[in-house]
């Protein structure tokens, strides 16, 4: 899929944490738009996508001078109280354009020099391992949350063909853990998976969060229904994996390997 890359000069980077992210003081998005273009992404139904004349997943805006802007905003925010940051809420900070632009890395370097109280890095990209050296400087103030919706790559190709392969994400989790970076696996949203999935995650992480469309799209599932994702499940014989029953099934499977203090559901698992 062809990608349109543009450059913007934002006035602000830190946005107040609200709704699903109300536990955070701020959210932070290094880019606008996301080249992964996952079919189920709730951002497709948000103004940033709806009012754009290009299809979601085909365009990315790079935020220029982001590091210098964050440096100022972070300093100001810290005078007002604890600063907890979710990066990112409406883009992937490690999508392909980051290889060249390195906006995310520049923001991490700012935060390593002047740490927030907590930073959650939410991604589905193995590129995050490139920045292990900077993440290590944040110590216990950071957690990398790697989206691993399934253990079946054919399912990944069906729902998010532009996203990184599942095995590459699992290898990234192992590399992060070996480097001492706090991590978690985010099975979000829950996609069809195999019986060995829970055991495979147990070897890599000690923290898992499960999420589905009803709990995680910020609208009780309304945004997801507008996307017509249920039809994709039905047309591929996967209807049993859509809805509350999928969450119940994954909880039962995960409970065999993870304790109550290691297994979280939806918003609770992403809290600082």
**pLDDT tens digit at each of 272 positions of the chain:** 557 999 999 999 999 999 999 999 999 999 999 999 999 988 888 878 877 888 989 999 999 999 999 999 999 999 999 999 999 999 999 999 999 999 999 999 999 999 999 999 999 999 999 999 999 999 999 999 999 999 999 999 999 999 999 999 999 999 999 999 999 999 999 999 999 999 999 999 999 999 998 886 667 777 778 888 899 999 999 999 998 899 999 999 999 999 999 999 999 999 99
Contact (Cβ atoms closer than 8 angstroms) between residue 48 and residue 32: yes
Q: Specify the CATH number for the domain of residue 52.
A: 3.80.30.30
Angle at 188 between CA 143 and CA 62, to 5 degrees: 65
Q: Where are the alpha helices (DSSP H) in the chain?
A: 47-50, 66-78, 98-101, 103-113, 132-138, 153-159, 166-178, 197-202, 213-216, 222-227, 229-235, 244-255, 267-270
Compute the residue count for the chain. Answer: 272
Per-residue pLDDT at 243: 85
Which residues, other chains included, contact 55 with Cβ-Cβ below 8 Å and sequence gap of 6+? 37
C-alpha distances (whole Å) from 270 to each of 33, 89, 162, 163, 209 are 21, 11, 24, 21, 8
Per-residue pLDDT at 218: 67
What's the domain count of the chain? 1
Domain, as residue range, for 226: 4-270
Angle at 143 between CA 152 and CA 27, to 5 degrees: 100
Per-residue pLDDT at 226: 81
Per-residue pLDDT at 217: 64
Per-residue pLDDT at 216: 67
Pairing of strands 183-187, 263-265: unpaired
């Amino acid at each position: 899929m062809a990608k349109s890359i543009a450059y913007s000069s934002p006035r602000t980077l830190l946005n107040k944490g609200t709704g699903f992210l109300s536990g955070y003081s701020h959210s932070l998005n290094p880019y606008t738009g996301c080249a992964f273009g996952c079919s189920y992404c709730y951002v497709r139904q948000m103004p940033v996508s709806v009012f754009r004349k290009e299809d979601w997943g085909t365009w990315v805006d790079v935020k220029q001078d982001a590091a210098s802007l964050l440096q100022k905003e972070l300093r100001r925010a810290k005078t007002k109280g604890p600063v907890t940051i979710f990066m990112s809420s409406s883009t992937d900070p490690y999508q392909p354009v980051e290889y060249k632009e390195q906006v995310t890395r520049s923001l991490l370097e700012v935060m390593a020099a002047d740490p927030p109280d907590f930073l959650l890095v939410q991604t589905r990209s193995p590129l995050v391992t490139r920045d292990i050296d900077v993440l290590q400087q944040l110590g216990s103030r950071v957690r990398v949350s790697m989206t691993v919706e399934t253990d079946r790559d054919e399912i990944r190709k069906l729902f998010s063909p532009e996203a990184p392969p599942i095995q590459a994400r699992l290898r990234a989790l192992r590399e992060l853990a070996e480097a001492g970076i706090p991590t978690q696996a985010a099975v979000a949203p829950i996609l069809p998976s195999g019986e060995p999935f829970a055991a495979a995650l147990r070897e890599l992480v000690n923290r898992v969060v499960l999420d589905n469309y009803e709990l995680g799209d910020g609208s009780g599932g309304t945004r997801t229904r507008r996307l017509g994702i249920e039809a994709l499940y039905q047309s591929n014989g996967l209807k049993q994996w859509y809805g509350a029953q999928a969450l119940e099934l994954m909880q039962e499977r995960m409970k065999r390997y993870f304790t109550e203090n290691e297994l979280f559901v939806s918003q609770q698992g992403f809290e600082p």
